[in-house]
Chain A
Amino acid sequence: EVQLVQSGAEVIQPGESLKIFCQGSGYIFARYWIAWVRQMPGKGLEWMGIIYPGDSDARYSPSFQGQVTISVDKSSNAAYLQWSGLKASDTAMYYCARQADTGYDFDHWGQGTLVTVSS
């Protein structure tokens, strides 16, 4: 069974750094792109970026380029999303999702990581 398990909720102060993860299991992790999607409170879904674990090729939405870094560790079947200086406006639920091998849809999603940035 394909599963994406994300790290737990975080409460972070403005200006701090953070790295959250998404761990895949039940499939060959290196062969499927992993995307990150933001959902701000009460709002819709926004695609942030995507990475191919096989060669760490990462692509970003222009809206998030330079704001976050997406990385991967094949040895632990994990993808990461990190910030170097969080702002209150980064408060959101963050989902990872696996891109299907037959197309460009996201066929499996993680449970989400809630990041709250507050002093």
Chain B
Amino acid sequence: DFVMTQTPLSLSVTPGQPASISCRSSRSLLHSDGKTYLHWYVQRPGQSPQLLIFEVSNRFSGVPDRFSGSGSGTDFTLKISRVEAEDVGIYYCMESLQLQYSFGQGTKLEIK
């Protein structure tokens, strides 16, 4: 099985401060088509997951620009430049190669 490892598993951030979540894959996520299939989701309390970032660094429609994604190969990062109260939730990375998908364990973001 392909494994996605997120760190940290939880973090507590003061509003206005930055936050960073790391995601490491057990295999390279670079496809032969040149794209890298690593995505980020957030699941806010009591809600369905929502897409934040697709293909490493592309913000989905309506996602604020304080969210950014970076990385390549097997190592990826989600950054929030200035955390707001509404950012509370669990953040998941997900890899998708050849119609097989794996999620990271999730990182719980709390507000101090």
Contact = CB atoms under 8 A, between A and B. Distances in A.
Interface string B86-110: 0000101010110111111110000
Interface footprint category on A: 20 to 34
Q: How large is the interface on B (under 10, 10 to 19, 20 to 34, 35 or more residues)?
A: 20 to 34
B49 A103 contact: no
A33 B51 CA distance: 16
B50 A104 contact: no
Interface stretch (A68-76, A84-92, A105-113): A105-113
A50 interface: yes
A95 interface: yes
B94 A105 contact: yes
Main secondary structure of the interface of B (DSSP, over half): strand
B35 interface: yes
A103 B55 contact: yes
Contacts, number: 69
A41 to B, nearest CB: 13
Interface of B: 1, 35, 37, 39, 41, 43, 48-51, 54-55, 60, 90, 92, 94, 96-97, 99-106
Given A45-B41, A50-B99, A107-B51, 18 more contacts: A33-B99, A44-B103, A44-B106, A47-B103, A59-B99, A59-B100, A95-B48, A95-B49, A103-B96, A104-B96, A104-B97, A104-B99, A105-B94, A105-B96, A106-B51, A106-B94, A109-B48, A111-B48
